[in-house]
Structure 1
Amino acid sequence: MNSSSSDTLLKFESASLGYGKFTVLSEIDIEVKRGQVVAMMGGSGSGKTTLMRAATRQIVAQSGKVYAFGDDLAQLNDQQVRHARQRMGVLFQQGALFTDLNVFENVAFPLREHTDLSEEQILERVLGKLDAVGLRAAAHLQIAEISGGMARRVALARAIVLEPELILYDEPFAGLDPISLGITAQLIRDLTDKLNCASVLITHDVPESFAIADHVYIVGQGKLIGHGAPAELEKSTDPYIAQFLHGEPDGPIAFNYPVTPAFNDWLNTQRRP
């Protein structure tokens, strides 16, 4: 990659992504720069999670390239992959908190695993990150004692405790009440600016994402449908983009999951006597 500056933290370059012989997305071009909030959007089954898996090297591109921090992820060895991942923070859709640890220890976990910080330093760092998400005084609580919205904020504090350069959010707004949703969206924007990192939202929530994103990529029908600043996309006349942004029932986005060769192969095995 000819990275013109170190500001490009994640880049998909003509990348085709999938599993085995099945290609989910073809010829994807995406660039994420330091300081940006970038939304990767699409309907259910459109390939959003596949993008996240490629960014974290859970899968490698079938063709094309995926770069993180200037490195071709497919060319990294296991140790280099671990190092790249340590420069990332991930907020999982369900939070993935440890239920047998309290709030403080959940956030402290990455520090204990990946740093040599003293207990005093860990205390200061964790309380600082909990303060950033408004939960400093909840440090002593068990996970069962906090609400779903609070749990999402604890997971966010854990995702940023190592002060990563790139943060990936998997459906960060799913299941949140309107107040928690607005708080979470603003937190993502504020933390991106404060940490001078890049934030990538894997999401289908249009209003919240458009309110904080610098750039939006929309995938569907196995490809990149369009991209641009939120204001640009809102003016788009592309029928797929218009249907997705406005939630229209009629349009090019099909309700049924597409028939694939893998499905036909499976169906044939079911019909054998």
Structure 2
Amino acid sequence: MSMITSDATDPVVLFSAVDLGYGDFTVLKEVDLRVARGQVVAMMGGSGSGKTTLLRATTAQIRPQRGTIAVFGQDLASLSGERLRQVRQRMGVLFQQGALFTDLNVFENVAFPLREHTTMTEQALTERVLDKLDAVGLRAAAHLGISEISGGMARRVALARAIVMEPELILYDEPFAGLDPISLGITAQLIRDLTDRLHCASVLITHDVPESFAIADQVYVVGQGKLLASGTPQALSGSQDPYVKQFLNGEPDGPIAFHYPITPAFTAWLEQQSGRP
């Protein structure tokens, strides 16, 4: 029997009282979050709030300074080598820039993980790749080069590649960045549809509020070095928390101040500047 739990009721991702950071510097403190199968979960916050740090922790690129991160029922801190590789193989990641191979056509880009990690026959591989391209509306673009498709189409090719291994957890790093309004809407709906179709867990690292709220089951908002709020999009839309209201409404000033705070180091620097001839 596999050591990895397959109980459908267990959370796919579970953070328990987690502190995250780099070296002695802590980015986020006391984070509790839960992601279940079939859910789209948005992890939101402004630039530098720690969203990407959450993604790195979920893939065990960084280890928690404190607390426990469990993925597929296993404590990531206890995994290394082959066991960690097996867990990561059950994840799909859509990187912000897509990271497509420009010397391969659309079909071969999507086929790449299958060729690397499976021993599928060419017929089975072709059927799987065309099925996933069909799911993102690009089956008839299989023969095209990456230079022949638009940026929005390239994002959908990268999405097809992320799901071709039929992962149980898909992590999206800023999936809406740089897309035109039509491509953005298509991508958001694809994430929802594919989550339902694969019955996987999907985690969005994003700062795009309308698109995420339209498809997410649960939202976590990070900022100020902590988890500021969590709940359904409907619950957060009615939040009276000043930090949450400022972020969701895109207000330029508020608890997250427009002006960087004055520090003793700045005052000392300014005095030094003023004393120069």
Letter in 2 for 1:236: S
Q: What's the offset of the Cα at 1:257?
A: 7.2
1:179 aligned residue (152, 171, 182): 182
Name the structure 1 match of 2:227: 224
Q: Is 1:203 the counterpart of 2:206 in the alignment? A: yes
**If the length of structure 2 is used for normalisation, what is the TM-score?**
0.91
Q: What's the offset of the Cα at 1:7?
A: 3.5
Supply the distance in 1 between the matched residues of 2:221 and 2:77 (Cα, whole angstroms).
24
Name the structure 1 match of 2:98: 95
Describe the superposition over 1:44-76 as per-residue Cα deviations: whole angstroms up to 9, x where unpaired: 000000000000000000000111000000110
Instruction: Give the share of equivalent positions with the same residue, in percent.
Output: 74
2:245 aligned residue (242, 246, 264): 242
**If the length of structure 1 is used for normalisation, what is the TM-score?**
0.92
State the superposition RMSD in angstroms. Answer: 2.1
Describe the superposition over 1:148-200 as per-residue Cα deviations: whole angstroms up to 9, x where unpaired: 00000000000000000000000000111111000000000000000000000
Letter in 1 for 2:95: F
SS, match of residue 41 in structure 2: strand
Supply the distance in 1 between the matched residues of 2:79 and 2:260 (Cα, whole angstroms).
34
Is the Cα contact below 8 Å between 2:50 and 2:222 reproduced in 1? yes
Change (3 A) 1:257 1:145: farther
Supply the distance in 1 between the matched residues of 2:6 and 2:34 (Cα, whole angstroms).
10
Name the structure 1 match of 2:118: 115
How many residues are paired up? 262
Supply the distance in 1 between the matched residues of 2:253 and 2:186 (Cα, whole angstroms).
33
Ranges of 4+ aligned residues in structure 1 off by more than 6 Å: 256-260
Q: Is 1:15 the counterpart of 2:13 in the alignment? A: no
Change (3 A) 1:203 1:140: same
Name the structure 1 match of 2:74: 71
Is the Cα contact below 8 Å between 1:45 and 1:257 reproduced in 2? no
Q: Which has the larger radius of gyration?
A: 2
Letter in 2 for 1:66: I
Name the structure 1 match of 2:218: 215
Name the structure 1 match of 2:162: 159
Name the structure 1 match of 2:275: none
Q: Is 1:43 the counterpart of 2:46 in the alignment? A: yes
Supply the distance in 1 between the matched residues of 2:215 and 2:83 (Cα, whole angstroms).
32
SS, match of residue 12 in structure 2: strand
